Amino acid sequence: MKLPMIYSYLKKDLDRIEDAMTNTIRAEHPVLEDASVQLLRAGGKRIRPVFVLLSGKFGTYELPRIQTVAVALELIHMASLVHDDVIDDAELRRGKPTVKAKWDNKVAMYAGDYIFARSLEYLSKLEEPRAHQILAHTIVELCVGEVEQIRDKYRIEQHLKDYLRRIRRKTAILIAASARLGAIASGAPLEHERALYRYGYYVGMSYQIIDDVLDFTASEADLGKPAGGDLLQGNMTLPALLACEDRFFKERLTQAFRNPEALDQETLQPFIQHIKTSDSIKRSLEISDRYLQKAYQELDKLPPTRDRNTLKQIARHIGKRSS
C-alpha cells in the first residue's frame, strides 16, 4: 500500500493545507514567486502535516487551528530544504532542478528566508506561547545539527552516539515537534501530547536511518540523484560507520577522506559496493526497527482510535519503504 493510501481519509484536510501553503508563499516579485512555487510543486511526502493532523485528532480537532501549525511546519521544512541545496550544491531534488540550479544561490537564500518569514508570520495566528517555544527550540536544534554535520564531515573516528545525536537534531525532532504541536493546537491531554512527541521522535530516527540506508541501496531513479551521495559529501551515516568496524575498510576510507577534493562517484564505488554487500545495511535496518518498536510502544499509551491505527501503519510503512 502506498503511504497516502494509509491516510486517505485526511485528503480533504491535506488539500486545504496544500492550498493554504500555495497562498502563503505568494510573493510580489515574480522570481521569488516562481522559486517558491517551484519548491512547493516539487512535492514531497508532506509527512509533517500528516503527523500534525493525526495528532490533532487526540484533542479537539478544529481544522483552522491545526492547519496553522501544519502549514507553518511544512514551510519551515521547505525553507530548510532550499538552503540545504545551497549547502550541498545540489542540482536536483526529487529529480527536478533545485532553486539554486535554476536561478542561483542568492535566489535560493532569499527564497528560503522569505518562506521562513512567511511561516512564522502564518504561525503567529496561533496564540499558544508554548507551541512557539517548542518550535523555536526545535529550529535552533535543527540548525546546530546541521552545523555538527559539517563539523563531522570526513571524520572517520565517530561513535554511534555522535551519529544518533546528529540525526536526532537533523530529522527526528522536527517530526516529533510536528506530532507534539498538533496535540497542543487541539488541546490534547498532556500524557497524549508526550506520547505523540516520543512517537514522532522514534519514527523520525527510524526514518532518517532508512534514508541513510537507501542512499546506498536505492537506484538513481528512485533517489533522484546518484547513490552514495552522503559518502561523497563526507557524511558518515550509519551504514558507513558500521562498515568501519572492518579495519581494512576503515583504513582505505580514512585514506580516501584525506583528500576530499579528489573524491568522486568513481573513486567511491568500491566503498559503496562494500557497504552494500556487508552486513552494515542489515544491522542499520535492525537499529531502525528498534526505534520503530519504541514508537509502537508509545502508541499503546493513546486511546485505540482509527488515528492511532493510522499512526501505527505509517510507522510500519516507514520501516518497509524502499524509496
Partner 1 sequence: MIVLSYASTEELHTLRNKIEKRMQQDYLDKNTEAPFLDENKLLLLQTLFGQTNLPDKQQTDYTITIMLIQMALDTHDKVIVTTKTNETADERKNRQLTVLAGTYYSALYYQILAGLEEIDMVALLATSIKEINEQKMSLHYDATTSEAFFKKLGQLEGCLFRTAASRFIDTARLEPLDDYCLISRLQQEVREGKQTSLLVKLASIIEMEKSGLTVMQVIQQEIEAAKRRLLAGLDTLPPAFAKLSRKLLLQGNRQEELFLEEG
Using CA atoms, how far apart are residues 318 and 173, in angstroms rounded to an integer?
16
Of residues 14 through 43, those in contact with partner 1 by CB under 8 A are 27-29, 31-32
117 makes contact with partner 1 (CB under 8 A): yes
Helices and strands (DSSP H and E) totals, the chain: 18, 2
Exposure string (b/e) for 85-117, b if CB count within 10 Å is 16 or more?
bbebebeebeeeebbbbebeeebbebbbebbbe
106 binds partner 1 (CB under 8 A): yes
- Please report whether residue 143 would count as binding partner 1 according to CB under 8 A: yes
Residue 97 β-bridge partners: 92
Would you say the C-alpha torsion 264, 267, 269, 272 has a positive or negative sign?
A: negative
Smallest distance from partner 1 to CB 308, Å: 30
Which of 19, 121, 245, 251 is the binder for partner 1 (CB under 8 A)? 121
Q: Any bridge partners for residue 93, and if so which?
A: 96
Binding mask 70-99 for partner 1 (x = CB under 8 A): ----------x--x--xx-x----------
Instruction: Work out the number of other CB atoms within 10 angstroms of the CB of residue 252.
Output: 14
- Read off the C-alpha cell for 301: 499509551
* Nearest-approach distance from CB 227 to partner 1, in angstroms: 21
Nearer to partner 1, 23 or 124 (CB): 124
Q: Which residues bind partner 1 (CB under 8 A)?
A: 27-29, 31-32, 80, 83, 86-87, 89, 100, 104-107, 109-114, 116-118, 120-121, 124, 127, 129, 132-133, 135-137, 139-140, 142-144, 146-148, 150-151, 260-261
